[in-house]
Structure 1
Amino acid sequence: MSEEITRIAAKGDGVTATGRHFAGAITGDIVSEDGTIIPGPHHVDPPCRHFGTCGGCQLQQADDAALRQFVTERVVFAAESQDIQVGQLLPTHLSPPRTRRRATLHGLKAGKGAVIGFREGRSNRIVDMRECHILAPELFALVAPLRKLIADHAGKQPIDIALTLADQGVDCFLKNFAADGLAATEALLEFAGTHGLARLSFDQGYGAETVWEPDPVTITLGNVPVDMPHDSFLQPTRDGEDLLVGDARDFVTGANTVADLFSGLGTFAFALAGPAKVLAVEAARDAFLACKGAANGHGVPIHAMHRDLFRNPLTAEEIGRFGAVVLDPPRAGAREQVAQIAASEANRVAYVSCNPSSWAKDAKALVEAGFRLEKLRPVGQFRWSTHVELTSYFTR
């Protein structure tokens, strides 16, 4: 008996109404008795030749409607798993193709040449990238030149290549790249100059060494240029960042004081500061210093605090001094900090999450403390992947 795929599971498998999972199937497909997948109305031809091998994408065979349903259900089901009632479900956001402004590729010298790209799914093998439909064009344009650089000057060890689109252009950070000798150093400088890099750095195991940076590298946050340390965290797409920031601004509008927890470089802090006064709390020292320096240098009403919120969360008493709280924690969530928020007098919380599962557990703790989930928005910045994000707003 054939069955129809009714949804896409968290890891990308198609699922039937009876709970059977089929790899590669998506919503609307029909699975015949022998397991053959008959494409449905939402099944499209993957645009990239590497799909199915490259681990960068899992759902290129799904059209936008199926992708949107997948992202939405991941978030809504997470709330339902904790019996959390959603007040208003905001429209799901999907980032367009070729908008990823940061990515880590992998490179390896192979014979007289080299391979560069993402790794295969569940493997360390590198897929030699010849096209990519997720990277911003400025990043993909460096793939072929980097392949030649690795072939000519790298050692035999695998190399990680962190590419980030900054205000001044592409920031390129090579990890495990042994720049031995004058020829290798000259090649790096020529590569950086020829391709107009904003910065070129490498790490041989002793930390980042910058060999090219014509002007200090910055990223503009809330109209303020902020120094960008090596390997800084940024939202993966500009459109996604604009949406997350816009939601946070809407959620906390009217608050005179805001605590921005897990603030990073200040993605939310700089957008919210003025007229509100913002406390930006971050554990990573480089990010904290960059946020503090930019705020002080441009007269922005942000007080940056260096503090590990996992080991030393803001207390309930400290939290109660703010008109609203914004938090954007790592994938593990913010259990310790949420417990203090729940015990505080705070009544407005904007929670941005990159993991619906950990968010749902934290949200449950807030609801049990009297909060209501007023608004919830699913966000798919990592197009064609199973990585899903969200914004949420709680009041009490």
Structure 2
Amino acid sequence: MSEVVRIAAQGDGVAADGRHAPFAAPGDTLTGTGEILPGPHHRQPPCRHFPECGGCQLQHLDDASYADFIADRIAAALASQGLSAPIRPAILSPPNTRRRATLHAEARGGRVLLGFAAEKSHAIVDMRECHILAPELFALVPPLRVLLQRLALRGRGDVHLSIADQGVDILLTGLRPDGLAAADAITAFCERHRVARLSVDDGLGPETRWEPEPVTVTLGGIPVPFPPYGFLQATREGEATLVAAVREAIGTARITADLFAGLGTFALALPGRVYAAESAREAVLALKATVHGRQRAVFVEYRDLFRRPLTTPELDRFDAVVIDPPRAGAREQAATLAVCRVQAIAYVSCNPGSFARDAKTLCEGGWRIDWVQPVGQFRWSTHVELAARFVRQPG
């Protein structure tokens, strides 16, 4: 008999004797035969698709142990680089709040399967219920199956869903519905379900088939044009948490650099003047269109920060820097940040490993981690996000 003491990075419970047990929670007891005796943090998973569906790996954890898992992932990543930091309690998004998702579709045996992929598999779990998607998205799953069948889906495709200001934005990839019948089916579907936009991409780029009015997302209180494939934080609650953490991190900075700015999630919410750098062309055009003619001191530049990171002299013009790189982190930019003279750095990350690597570079340059705020937007998954504040070491 051995007590489960923690959750490993991939979601297995780890007992005190070192054994791993899938679907075990901290406080469970692992018998000599491998049976799991539920403890105080073990809950009944609410979804019929658990554990087959890969959308959630940790529905068997209560909120307290799931929040600890998120914080532990960050602490372990920092420890692997010889670092430590004050880690705040994780803030979790509630169930049924995910406002963007990519579902997989497959035509098989005269019907269409639609849902997330099974855990560690390409097989599709045909979604009949979901406890993470926002109700507006889940409500479209059954009618989307019908639409894909009418559009003669062959093989596999993907359905990208996002909630915009005008309703749900849909992007279909892996098929090209041509002809009058397909156009009529799309129009009828969009009208019936009040879809904001429907686009298709057969590999040559997105083509809009329905958009009665320009689609926007509101960031920093301002509607921003939302391009197909546009990036949104997974939940509104997660976005609000990250924005609040970034604002706290930079304080009263008069001029801030927002690196990997995207559509302006942070740039449009920051005080003072903001320089926003982004390499995604559509995002740059959307953000430029948003700030043009408005009383917002935001300068937007198209810039690939992997190939051309801001130099140290460029960084020294700013009071603070916000950086929100993709999963790979920002190795090149971290090197110049390490020796710049800004007062504070707000680092937002969706990968504790690359964050810890870049944090080591900064700390070797004389910075320290003031605090880390874990964020659980991808509820019940092993995906971890965070915001952290870096300040200069005294002396």
> What is the TM-score with the length of structure 2 in the denominator?
0.97
> Could you give the per-residue CA deviations for residues 269-313 of structure 1, whole angstroms, max 9, x where no partner exists?
0000x4x10000001111011111101142311000100001110
CA apart distance, 1:237: 0.3
1:302 counterpart (298, 304, 316) = 298
Where in structure 2 are the equivalents of 1:1-396 lying within 5 Å?
2-86=1-85, 88-272=86-270, 274=271, 276-396=272-392
**1-side partners of 2:30 and 2:292: how far apart?**
60
**2-side partners of 1:158 and 1:95: how far apart?**
31
Q: Which runs of 5+ in 2 are unaligned?
A: none
Q: Which runs of 5+ in 1 are unaligned?
A: none
Q: CA RMSD in A?
A: 1.0
**2-side partners of 1:346 and 1:253: how far apart?**
12
**1-side partners of 2:387 and 2:25: how far apart?**
25
CA apart distance, 1:39: 1.1
**2-side partners of 1:119 and 1:382: how far apart?**
15
CA apart distance, 1:65: 1.1
Greater alpha carbon shift after TM alignment, 16-25 vs 248-257: 16-25
> Could you give the per-residue CA deviations for residues 42-76 of structure 1, whole angstroms, max 9, x where no partner exists?
11111000011111000001111110110111112
AA aligned to 1:388 is V
SS in 2 for 1:89: coil
AA aligned to 1:364 is K
Residues 67 and 89 in structure 2, CA contact (< 8 A), matched pair in contact too: no
> Could you give the per-residue CA deviations for residues 2-35 of structure 1, whole angstroms, max 9, x where no partner exists?
1111000110000122332111112111110011
**2-side partners of 1:377 and 1:256: how far apart?**
23
SS in 2 for 1:304: strand
**1-side partners of 2:280 and 2:190: how far apart?**
28
**2-side partners of 1:224 and 1:363: how far apart?**
32
Residues 154 and 178 in structure 1, CA contact (< 8 A), matched pair in contact too: no
SS in 1 for 2:182: helix
> What percentage of aligned pairs have identical amino acids?
54
> What is the TM-score with the length of structure 1 in the denominator?
0.97
Residues 75 and 84 in structure 2, CA contact (< 8 A), matched pair in contact too: no
SS in 2 for 1:343: coil
The structure 1 segments of at least 4 consecutive aligned residues displaced by more than 4 Å after TM superposition are none
AA aligned to 1:82 is Q
SS in 2 for 1:288: helix
Number of equivalenced pairs: 392
**2-side partners of 1:236 and 1:297: how far apart?**
29
CA apart distance, 1:378: 1.1
SS in 1 for 2:338: helix
